Amino acid sequence: MPTRLRIYENCPVHIDTAFYVPAGLGREVIFKDMPKDHEGKHYFVNKETGKVFPEFEPIKLDDSTEPTPFSMTFEHYPLSAGETVLKDGYEGAIVAEIKINGTVVGTDTIEYQYFEHPKPVTFEYWKAAPKDPGRFLLKWSGELLDPDYRVGYDPKRRIKSESAAHDLSNFRQYTAGAYYSFDNGATWIEATPDGVELTTAEIQELPDEFNVLMRLPYGCESFLIASSDPDSPYGPRRRPGPMPRPDIVRQITMDNQTGAVLEPLKQIYDVNSGNDFELTVRPTGNNIPVLETSRNHRIPDSVGVVQEVRPDGSYHFTIRKVKENLTVTLKYTVGNAEVDGTRVWGEAGTLCIASATTGRANVYNALGRLCRTLNLSAGETRRLPLPVGVYIVTMGNGRAYKAAVN
């Protein structure tokens, strides 16, 4: 039984075979009634071109003697402030009108339901103290938190209707609309509309520093929804009364296992407790530097370290909120020439990717923004027209490649 495609804000979706275009000459596809906000701005954007899907200009396809699939990779922007028609959880449809030699021969439709990320509404937290039991209260909002959006799986019997598909008693297990984690993703707990309130004993078990992450099933990466750091935008509401903080200096010991130039160049750095530590790395050749911290087991570097690739080819690292003495290790990942045969290089106005294996490639610009997502076959070479700049390409094998387009 067909179900609506569930899509989330800023989470790219790739569709391979939902649309089929018949054989013929002069084949065209036109998208109809794509959703827009109250100012006429499109919510859907084509991730391969960075542009919206045109409603009046047809997309021309090659002539073919056989029906062919029309794939698309798209992203739904968050609903605009002041949006009065479309709401979190709204249902819609992507409608593609298909023409052969100027004649409409049919339409294909993909029904979807769009969801915003759940948002924190109230976060109160402080530790227990004499005559104070402590406080942890986290409230959030979002349509996905409604139990009606649980999805059953492992059915007990054949599902013959939409109402039966929504009846969880027909299934042995279900997937919730959203999950949260206190331990950086090691354990996930269903997020419910009531939020989370911990007892005094549970508050005492929390580490001194923690993040509350949230993830959406079949969505993109987990995202931060609360943090114990009072200076974070996701930090708790302060308890009434002064909260003095000691002026403590932390030391960062650098273990540079590369030949890269560091700015500033030291072996031991001093940083005030709670402040960010910043470092610029100028690697040799096409090497890609990776910075690892000794606190990675508690605060994953994917959360606590921010990396920026700058136009001059240098890498700028920021270690967020240093509150302990750290050992920082700088290493190189593999470069552009790989033993598996995959290569990435730049030419005039073009980024070239030669993939040795079948998989997906993500192309990021120097600011870390996703520019393209490609599905590559083994032995395939793709040439992408891109503006001048430095690009990072991540492959499905977990490796990253850097190249400059002149």
- What confidence tens digit (pLDDT) does each residue in 225-247 have? 999 998 899 999 866 554 445 56
What is the rounded average pLDDT of the residues 333-342?
Answer: 56
Question: Of 115, 149, 174, which one is at a domain's C-terminal end?
Answer: 115
Establish if 240 belongs to a structural domain: no
- Are residues 263 and 181 part of one domain? no
- 63 and 140 share one domain: no
Q: Are 390 and 313 in contact (CB under 8 A)?
A: yes
Residues 111, 148 within the same domain: no
Largest Cα span, the chain: 81
129 shares a domain with 208: yes
- pTM to 2 decimals? 0.55
Instruction: Establish if 400 belongs to a structural domain.
Output: yes
Task: Find the CATH number of the domain harbouring 53.
Answer: 2.60.40
Count of domains for the chain: 4
* Residue 242 belongs to some domain of the structure: no
Query: Which CATH number belongs to the domain containing residue 350 in this structure?
Result: 2.60.40.3110
Among residues 302, 333, 364, which one ends one of the domains?
333
Residue 194 domain-assigned?
Answer: yes
Q: Say what the alpha-carbon torsion angle 178, 398, 401, 308 is, to the nearest 10 degrees.
A: 40
Read out DSSP for 181-205? ESSTTSS-EE--TT-EE--HHHHHT
Classify residue 220 as left (phi > 0), alpha (psi -120 to 50) or beta: beta
Residue 387 dihedral angles phi and psi, to the nearest 5°: -65, 160
Domain, as residue range, for 40: 5-115
Same domain flag for 386 and 357: yes
| CA dist., res. 3 & res. 164, Å (int) | 12
pLDDT in tens, 207-223: 989 999 999 988 888 99
At residue 58, the pLDDT reads: 87
In a domain, 236, yes or no: no
Domain's final residue, options 279, 305, 333:
333
What number is the average pLDDT over the span 141-155?
90
Tell me the pLDDT tens digit for each residue of 256-307.
888 788 898 888 899 988 899 999 988 877 778 888 899 988 888 878 888 8
Q: Are residues 167 and 200 in the same domain?
A: yes
Q: Cite the DSSP H helix spans in 181-271.
A: 200-204
CA atoms within 13 A on the CB side of 107: 12
Domain assignment present for 370? yes
- Tell me whether residue 89 is in a domain: yes
Whether residue 244 is contained in a domain is answered as: no
